[in-house]
Amino acid sequence: MLNKNFKSARQKACSFLIVLIYAASAYNAKAAVKSYRKEADGITIKLNTGLIKLKICADDIVEVKYTIFNAFLKKTSLVVNNTWAKITPFKVSEQKGEIVITTLKLRIVIDKTTDAITYKDINGKIITGEAAAGNKSLTEATIAGIKTYSVSTQFNSPNDEALFGLGCHPEDSLSINYKGRNQQMLIKYMTGAIPVLLSTKGYGLLWDNYSASNFYGGEANNTQFKYVSESGREVDYYFFYGPDFDHIIDLYRTATGKAPMYPKWSFGLFQSQDRYKTQAEVLSVKDGYRKNHIPVDAIVQDWFWWSPAPIGSHIMNHDRYPDPKAMVNELHKANFHAMISIWPLFGEGSANYEAQKKNGFLTSIKWDNFFAHTFDTYYDAHNPKARDLYWAQARDSIVKRYDWDAWWVDQCEPDNGSLLDERRKADFSVGKGIDYFNTYALEHAKGLYKGWRSDMTNKRAFFLVRQAFAGSQRSATTLWSSDITTTFKAFKSQVPQGINACASGIPYWTSDIGGYLSRVDPDGIPTWSEPENRELFTRWFQFGTFSPIFRIHGKGERALFSNNWDQPTKDILLKFDNLRYRLLPYIYSMAASVTLHNYTIMRALAFDFRNDPNVYGIPDQYMFGPAFMVNPVTEQLYTGVGEAKAKTRKVYLPKATWFDFWTGKTIAGGQTINAESPINILPLYVKAGSVIPMGPEVEYATQKTAKPFELRIYPGANGKFTVYEDENDNYNYEKGKYALFTISWNDKLHQVSINDTKGSYKGLKKYRTFNIVLVSPDHGTGEGVTENADKTIVYNGKSLTVNI
């Protein structure tokens, strides 16, 4: 028996050793470096099988390509639009089995045995590195009957690393940190994908592959992570070195395009409902807001305005909308802006369908979701000629004809339900659908932005999109989180999803305030008169106040003047609506920083506190610009009869001095507190040293008023804030027609300084009055105008300094 067991064990050991030797020889034969060639923009490395290309795009940006074939694809990236015309100097050397590339900021080390790449800072400290085994691979695969190669990259990941980004996934878990968890990266209905990752170790990654993918955050016992795309012929990724998150996002947008400036009105409140069915109904909502003096800027005409005509016919039903131009004119006269939902689908029987079909611009992809309209067909958004025709059809029939101000870009996945293999098998002008699975929305928005810039020259583009991909920000897109439900669970998930969408380089994100539909009611309409639903809407509205775009939408009437809200609810909603409008100088200036400096408004805590590991796992706190820490209340705190179960939520305050926005009291950072959270309070904390410009109360964003601005100063540290102003809604800012002035606070001297105004534009005020308020307990608090300012000054555009 002993001899038998020994013999069996020896056979197993020998077999295992043979497998190891074979695997090692096969791996080395594939990976080992044979030679390299230095080129003007980087190096190309010849392996035993295949090639690696490292392109030095900048001192802190590197593109890596790998293939098992003898040449790389000749393709134009759909994501990266920087041509890197300027050559970045670098040096190459060999030492101890390594090839080393050195720039002014990086040392990039390639192991000649494993081909693994390690990224170090200029002092030799490791930033990150590819795994020694399986770092870059192509594997034969057959998917949906299509022969292809799955593509993967694998990186080392120390235990204390946190990972953010990867887009918006509306129905996902509540986690904020992707370390140790997996994420599907496949764009479909209610599932997003933006292949951008930020690490607290100070780097970012962008995978330039468009097929359905997966991120695995817990490989090799959480010491590695892997990104796998189901189709491709080469690995292609970009490495960005920060180390700060703001700089990583700056580099990402340097590679993929800046976000253009939005019109000022778009930072006010959007009123939307599923759906306004008549012209009279739209105008009644306009009257309801203006007669009640409730601040609002936009109203939205959602879907089926074309019914019973086929989708894509772009004809407003004249029984229900007898004069669309007059309707939009009436909105404009009342200082409303108007957005309309137009889909990338064409139903049989319309002239537009026939024109798209005649030119060969329709795909084989059918809409297969709620209504199973299998005759509704998506056009080929990857075809530039098809995009041009699509724009021209909508422009002439709807957008320019009736003078709409913004476009809701719905159904841009394309949404074909469970028939995802049909998307894989579709033939786009650029190739098979499997290789362009995630880029439909990116290309669709590209055509809209091109057309808008060409033909709507005096209006800044604003597109609300249901899906986005890396690079979408350059087409004036705001990502919204799709058809979420009216539940606290859905609301709670929105906070980390918004944070991670913005950490993915997309600066503008929004959710349907209140949720889109109820899963309980057969018609999907929530009962807003019920106290628990009012509480949900109120908490969501508070969160929306501190989202990049502030937008009500969903089934059931939820306008702020609606009788669905009792008076206490109306008072709270109006309080936060007024707060949003008072903060417009702060918000609009941050939007300018997005465009001018690639800033991020909705900020994961790691943007500002990257070296504090306590913030890595917090899913429901974020910074809104440099001043505010926002802490949404996402748990239901009241019973059905309105009795409180709890009135606090836990808030972690990183190391700094913090002011309670509502009371002016200071709290030391580095601790977790129980924040007061009655229904009329969203816990807000302002960092010491913050300077916040607050406007007077207005009813729409561009309302002219002679009332003074309030400058709130939060003492305890030095600080400054740069105010941006322009003409509000055209592209003259691209010609330098804007003005900037910086307000500074010297904490030691208790001095406020304002520098000379830089720049000019038509309408720039020559004189303005500022009420300076030094915040303290019960002074300069809350949303209201502070009655007794500490000092009032008149600023004429020339520098001045005052003592407080």
**pLDDT digit string (tens) for 608-619?**
999 999 999 999
Please name the helix (run of DSSP H) or strand (run of DSSP E) that holds residue 25, with its range, or none.
helix 2-31
> CA geometry: angle at 761 spanning 758 and 765, to 5°?
80
Does the annotation mark 413 as catalytic? yes
Place of tokens 């959710």: 511
Model confidence pLDDT, tens digit, residues 135-189: 999 999 999 999 999 999 999 999 999 999 999 999 887 789 999 999 999 999 9
Question: How many CB atoms are closer than 10 A to CB 26?
Answer: 11
Alpha carbon distances (Å) from 477 to 322, 408, 511, 551, 668: 31, 10, 14, 15, 39
User: Residue 523 — very low, low, confident or very high, per pLDDT cuts 50/70/90?
Assistant: confident
Q: Do 285 and 271 contact (CB within 8 A), yes or no? A: yes
Q: Report the helix count and the strand count for the chain, using DSSP H and E.
A: 15, 48
* HSE-up of residue 547 (Cα within 13 Å, Cβ side): 34
pLDDT of residue 417: 83
pTM for the whole thing? 0.95
- Residue 602 reports pLDDT greater than 50: yes
For 375-382, what is the mean pLDDT?
A: 93
Q: Do 217 and 228 contact (CB within 8 A), yes or no? A: no
**Burial class of 596 by CB neighbour count within 10 A (0 to 12, 13 to 18, 19+):** middle
Q: What is the 8-class DSSP label of residue 485?
A: B
Q: What is the mean pLDDT of the chain?
A: 93
Selected residue with higher pLDDT from 32 and 775: 775
- Residue 643 reports pLDDT greater than 60: no
CA dihedral 449→453→458→463, nearest 10 degrees, is 0
- Residue 416 reports pLDDT greater than 90: no
The closest alpha carbon to 459, from 518, 537, 519, 399, belongs to 399
Annotated catalytic residue, options 111, 208, 230, 483: 483
Model confidence pLDDT, tens digit, residues 18-42: 333 333 333 334 568 999 999 999 9
Alpha carbon distances (Å) from 249 to 361, 468, 502, 729: 35, 16, 10, 26
Instruction: Quote helix, strand, coil % in the chain, to nearest 5.
Output: 25, 30, 45
User: What span, in angstroms and rounded, lies between the C-alpha atoms of 274 and 524?
Assistant: 10
Model confidence pLDDT, tens digit, residues 174-193: 789 999 999 999 999 999 99
Model confidence pLDDT, tens digit, residues 243-296: 999 999 999 999 999 999 999 999 999 999 998 999 999 999 999 999 999 999
- Residue 45 reports pLDDT greater than 60: yes
pLDDT of residue 370: 52
pLDDT of residue 621: 98
Annotated catalytic residue, options 208, 410, 415, 422: 410
For 548-575, what is the mean pLDDT?
A: 96
User: What span, in angstroms and rounded, lies between the C-alpha atoms of 189 and 466?
Assistant: 9
CA 501 to chain centre: 4
For 661-674, what is the mean pLDDT?
A: 98
Alpha carbon distances (Å) from 528 to 536, 710, 745: 9, 36, 45
User: What span, in angstroms and rounded, lies between the C-alpha atoms of 600 and 364?
Assistant: 38
DSSP 291-308: HTT----EEEE-S-TTTT
pLDDT of residue 174: 77
pLDDT of residue 375: 73
The closest alpha carbon to 256, from 3, 424, 468, belongs to 468
Q: Do 590 and 623 contact (CB within 8 A), yes or no? A: no
Q: Buried b / exposed e across 143-157, counting CB within 10 Å, b at 16+?
A: bbebebbbbbbbbbb
pLDDT of residue 28: 38
Q: Do 670 and 696 contact (CB within 8 A), yes or no? A: no
User: What span, in angstroms and rounded, lies between the C-alpha atoms of 603 and 606?
Assistant: 8
pLDDT of residue 126: 98
- Residue 371 reports pLDDT greater than 70: no
For 216-240, what is the mean pLDDT?
A: 97
Q: What is the 8-class DSSP label of residue 780?
A: S
User: What span, in angstroms and rounded, lies between the C-alpha atoms of 226 and 127?
Assistant: 17
For 688-697, what is the mean pLDDT?
A: 98
User: Residue 550 — very low, low, confident or very high, per pLDDT cuts 50/70/90?
Assistant: very high
For 696-711, what is the mean pLDDT?
A: 96
Annotated catalytic residue, options 413, 422, 608, 710: 413
User: What span, in angstroms and rounded, lies between the C-alpha atoms of 120 and 471?
Assistant: 27
Question: How many CB atoms are closer than 10 A to CB 76?
Answer: 8
